[in-house]
């Protein structure tokens, strides 16, 4: 505005000079001088204002330049400017720090000096391509620090034209060590996945959302008889047995829609040759980083042989069940026959035993020693027959499932005495002693099945008498400490049992293999006695153990959980 005012005044003065005559010039001389003086003053003011504006602008420009220099130096990435020959003509502090050097040291040095030898061809090709295309170019190289260590760097460069018309390369250099490490880790994971995928013994396929097999491994190709390219053109339903398609398609749709993460099923596959195989399949969903379903991984194992084996086992089981049923029928028929025969034999045999006892008691007249000896032996055989009949009846009861213990209050010492009396003739004949002992702390009465206890004692004493030809037979009654039941111990000084034969002595129809001279006289039997004892003990929820050594006798220890029926005897 001031310059316009000055121009206006100057123009006004010139017009007045032209309009006024020279005669009037003198009159206005003072006024003209005044106007000129005002103009000079204004020019000085303008010069001062322009100088002030120039200084302010220069200060602002310097401040802006400093701010940009600070931003340039403090940038999180390195800035390098290279001339066309590859020499560094400008670098920021971050770039110098990346190389571990001072900025001044780097200037006018070739950038290639800091590139690893292995990456020199890559870097030179990068520079050539950059100046040729004058477009943005990127490369990754290893740069060497002052301490000779290296780091991975990414260079993003553009070509610029400087003020003097020369071309330069302006590059942003970023350290990408962590990214390279992550990429290497991902590559390693990829290599491992690929190794597992290709070498897995089970079939594996990558299935897209439409059910197409976009990738498959060799195991699956061998399993189905198709090549990789053939499978890539197929949807899994084309490989599935018709009756299994609808079931799996529903599962697959639920999986792809995100309703579940995996599913398992056994299904049938069609092979390329038209044959049908069974497979155990697991299909798992793979999601993208946003959590959206991306594709599925299917793993399948051929279980055709297992299915066939299972079918064979089922057939065998069915055959075994039928055979077992037939055996059970035969066994029941045998048991019924044994029971019938035993009952029919028991009455006359008991009569024979009774008549023999009358004869031995001389009810029908006196007897000679020879007659008495003969009657004693006949009586022994009859008693053996009675025991055999009783054993057969007990065995029939066990195998028919009818051996249910009938618990009642039982005086065990009295029961033991009654059983012992039946063996007195045989003990006298063999010159053996039977000792009975009841522990002072043992109750007299227990809640148990007396008929089963009698059968058990009879068989154990029969064995003891049979295999002992001199010495003592002992029977002891005591109370067990752990469950307050009863413990029955039957021991003898007989021939004993070899250790390797102990584990078989409770088998049915198993007879001990003894010496010839002993076997001929004592070892004749049915092989049922100890088997019956074991079954009786089991039916009473008890335990039986045996201790024996050849020539040193045998001891049977039986523990039965029978609660006492009265306080212990004093």
Write the pLDDT tens digit of every residue in 552-567.
Answer: 899 999 999 888 875 5
Least confident among 139-148, 180-189, 504-513: 504-513
Q: Give the integer Cα–Cα distance in Å for 480 and 485.
A: 5
Supply the pLDDT for residue 31. 67
Q: Would you state the structure tokens that stand for residue 30, as one six-digit string?
A: 């003072």
Least confident among 273-282, 299-308, 462-471, 502-511: 502-511
Q: Give the integer Cα–Cα distance in Å for 250 and 242.
A: 14
- Run of H or E including 298: strand 293-302
Percent of the chain with pLDDT over 70: 77
- Residue 21 pLDDT > 70, yes or no? no
Supply the pLDDT for residue 334. 67
Supply the pLDDT for residue 521. 44
Q: Would you state the structure tokens that stand for residue 256, as one six-digit string?
A: 């792809």
Confidence of residue 75 (pLDDT cuts 50, 70, 90): confident
Residues 43-65, mean pLDDT to the nearest whole number: 65
CATH number (1.10.287, 3.20.20, 3.10.350, 1.10.3470) of 303-402 reads 1.10.287
Least confident among 65-69, 73-77, 384-388, 458-462: 65-69
Confidence of residue 326 (pLDDT cuts 50, 70, 90): confident
Supply the pLDDT for residue 112. 94
Who contacts 563 (Cβ-Cβ below 8 Å, separation ≥6)?
446, 447, 484, 485
Q: Give the integer Cα–Cα distance in Å for 126 and 114.
A: 15
Beta carbons of 262 and 250 less than 8 angstroms apart: no
Kindly tell me the sign of the dihedral angle through the C-alpha atoms of 408, 414, 417, 422. negative
Who contacts 208 (Cβ-Cβ below 8 Å, separation ≥6)?
214, 295
Least confident among 95-104, 134-143, 162-171, 377-386: 377-386
Q: Is 567 exposed, middle or buried (0-12, 13-18, 19+ CB in 10 A)?
A: exposed
Who contacts 93 (Cβ-Cβ below 8 Å, separation ≥6)?
73, 74, 103
Residue with more model confidence, 342 or 155: 155
Residue with more model confidence, 240 or 57: 240
Q: Give the integer Cα–Cα distance in Å for 100 and 150.
A: 11
Which one, of 152, 164, 168, 148, lies nearest residue 100 by Cα?
Answer: 148
Instruction: Assign a CATH topology to domain 203-300.
Output: Beta-Lactamase (3.30.450)
Residues 427-442, mean pLDDT to the nearest whole number: 90
Task: Find residue 411's DSSP bridge partners.
Answer: 445
Q: Is 340 exposed, middle or buried (0-12, 13-18, 19+ CB in 10 A)?
A: exposed
- Residue 542 pLDDT > 80, yes or no? yes
Secondary structure (H, E, C), 20-83: CCHHHHCCCHHHHHHHHHHHHHHHHHHHHHHHHHHHHHHHHHHHHHHHHHHHHHHCCCEEEEEE
- Run of H or E including 334: helix 304-360
Q: Would you state the structure tokens that stand for residue 514, as one six-digit string?
A: 């003894």
- Run of H or E including 167: strand 167-175
Residue with more model confidence, 162 or 570: 162
The mean of the pLDDT values for the chain is: 83
Which residue carries 């065990």 as its tokens? 412
Supply the pLDDT for residue 507. 80
Range 75-182: architecture per CATH: 2-Layer Sandwich (3.30)
- Residue 27 pLDDT > 70, yes or no? no
Q: Would you state the structure tokens that stand for residue 152, as one six-digit string?
A: 């991975």
Supply the pLDDT for residue 2. 54
Q: Give the integer Cα–Cα distance in Å for 215 and 200.
A: 14
What top-level class would CATH report for the domain 405-560? alpha beta
Least confident among 102-106, 199-203, 359-363: 359-363
Least confident among 17-26, 47-56, 557-566: 17-26
Q: Give the integer Cα–Cα distance in Å for 215 and 231.
A: 8
Beta carbons of 173 and 153 less than 8 angstroms apart: yes
Q: Give the integer Cα–Cα distance in Å for 240 and 361.
A: 91
Domain range summary for the chain, segments of one domain joined by +:
2-71, 75-182, 203-300, 303-402, 405-560
Q: How many CA atoms lie less than 13 Å away from 463 in the CB half-sphere?
A: 28
Q: Give the integer Cα–Cα distance in Å for 172 and 471.
A: 111
75-182 and 203-300 share one fold: yes
Residues 490-502, mean pLDDT to the nearest whole number: 89
Write the DSSP string, 416-438.
HHHHHHTTHHHHHHHT-EEEEEE
pLDDT in tens, 7-19: 666 666 666 656 5
Q: How many CA atoms lie less than 13 Å away from 178 in the CB half-sphere?
A: 1
Which one, of 263, 258, 200, 209, lies nearest residue 236 by Cα?
Answer: 209
Beta carbons of 443 and 564 less than 8 angstroms apart: yes
Task: Find residue 235's DSSP bridge partners.
Answer: 212
Supply the pLDDT for residue 284. 94
Who contacts 566 (Cβ-Cβ below 8 Å, separation ≥6)?
443, 444, 445
Confidence of residue 531 (pLDDT cuts 50, 70, 90): confident
Q: Give the integer Cα–Cα distance in Å for 167 and 144.
A: 26
Q: Would you state the structure tokens that stand for residue 15, as one six-digit string?
A: 């017009």
Residues comprising the chain, all counted: 570
Q: Give the integer Cα–Cα distance in Å for 267 and 247.
A: 10
Q: Give the integer Cα–Cα distance in Å for 298 and 285.
A: 9
Beta carbons of 543 and 485 less than 8 angstroms apart: no
- Residue 221 pLDDT > 90, yes or no? yes
Which residue carries 């148990």 as its tokens? 448
Coil vs helix vs strand at 305:
helix
Supply the pLDDT for residue 253. 94
Q: Give the integer Cα–Cα distance in Å for 186 and 197.
A: 16
- Residue 364 pLDDT > 80, yes or no? no
Who contacts 495 (Cβ-Cβ below 8 Å, separation ≥6)?
467, 468, 469, 514, 515, 518, 550, 551, 553
């Amino acid at each position: 505005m001031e310059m316009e005012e000055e121009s206006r005044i100057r123009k006004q003065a010139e017009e007045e000079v032209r309009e006024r005559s020279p005669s009037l010039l003198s009159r206005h001389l003072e006024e003209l001088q005044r106007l000129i003086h005002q103009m000079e003053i204004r020019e000085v003011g303008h010069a001062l204002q322009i100088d002030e504006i120039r200084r302010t602008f220069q200060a602002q420009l310097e401040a802006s330049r400093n701010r940009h220099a600070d931003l340039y130096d403090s940038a999180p990435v390195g800035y390098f400017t290279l001339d066309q020959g590859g020499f560094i003509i400008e670098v920021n502090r971050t770039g110098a720090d990346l190389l571990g050097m001072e900025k001044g040291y780097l200037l006018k040095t070739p950038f290639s000096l800091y590139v690893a030898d292995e990456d020199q061809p890559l870097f030179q090709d990068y520079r050539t391509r950059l100046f040729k295309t004058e477009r943005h170019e990127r490369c990754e190289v290893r740069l060497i620090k002052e301490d000779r260590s290296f780091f991975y760097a990414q260079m993003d460069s553009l070509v610029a034209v400087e003020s003097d018309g020369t071309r330069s390369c302006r590059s942003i250099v970023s350290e990408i060590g962590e990214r390279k490490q992550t990429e290497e880790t991902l590559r390693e994971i990829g290599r491992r996945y690929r190794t597992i995928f290709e070498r897995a013994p089970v079939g594996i396929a990558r299935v897209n959302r439409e059910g197409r097999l976009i990738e498959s491994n060799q195991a699956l190709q061998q399993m189905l008889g198709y090549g990789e390219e053939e499978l890539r053109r197929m949807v899994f339903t084309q490989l599935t047995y018709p009756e299994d398609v609808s079931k799996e398609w529903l599962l697959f749709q639920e999986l792809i829609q995100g309703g579940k993460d995996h599913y398992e099923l056994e299904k049938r596959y069609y092979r390329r040759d038209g044959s049908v195989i069974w497979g155990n399949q697991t299909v798992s969903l793979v999601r993208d980083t946003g959590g959206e379903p991306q594709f599925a991984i299917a793993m399948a194992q051929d279980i055709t042989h297992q299915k066939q084996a299972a079918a064979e086992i089922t057939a065998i089981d069915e055959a075994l069940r039928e055979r077992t049923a037939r055996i059970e029928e035969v066994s029941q028929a045998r048991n019924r026959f044994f029971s019938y025969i035993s009952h029919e034999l028991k009455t006359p045999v008991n009569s024979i035993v009774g008549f023999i006892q009358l004869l031995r008691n001389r009810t029908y007249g006196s007897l000679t020693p020879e007659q008495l000896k003969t009657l004693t032996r006949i009586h022994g055989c009859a008693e053996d027959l009675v025991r055999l009949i009783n054993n057969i009846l007990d065995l029939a009861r066990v195998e028919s499932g009818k051996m249910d213990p009938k618990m009642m209050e039982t005086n065990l010492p009295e029961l033991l005495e009654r059983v012992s009396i039946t063996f007195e003739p045989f003990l006298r004949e063999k010159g053996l002693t039977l000792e009975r002992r009841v522990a002072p702390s043992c109750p007299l009465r227990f809640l148990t099945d007396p008929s089963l206890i009698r059968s058990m004692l009879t068989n154990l004493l029969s064995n003891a008498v049979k295999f002992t030809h001199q010495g003592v037979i002992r029977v002891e009654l005591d109370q067990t400490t752990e469950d307050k039941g009863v413990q029955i111990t039957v021991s003898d000084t007989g021939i004993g049992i070899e250790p390797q034969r102990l584990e078989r002595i409770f088998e049915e129809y198993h007879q001990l293999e003894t010496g010839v001279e002993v076997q001929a006289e004592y070892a004749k039997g049915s092989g049922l006695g100890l088997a019956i004892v074991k079954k009786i003990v089991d039916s009473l929820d008890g335990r039986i153990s045996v201790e024996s050594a050849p020539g040193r006798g045998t001891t049977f220890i039986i523990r039965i959980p029978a609660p006492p029926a009265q306080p212990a005897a004093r």
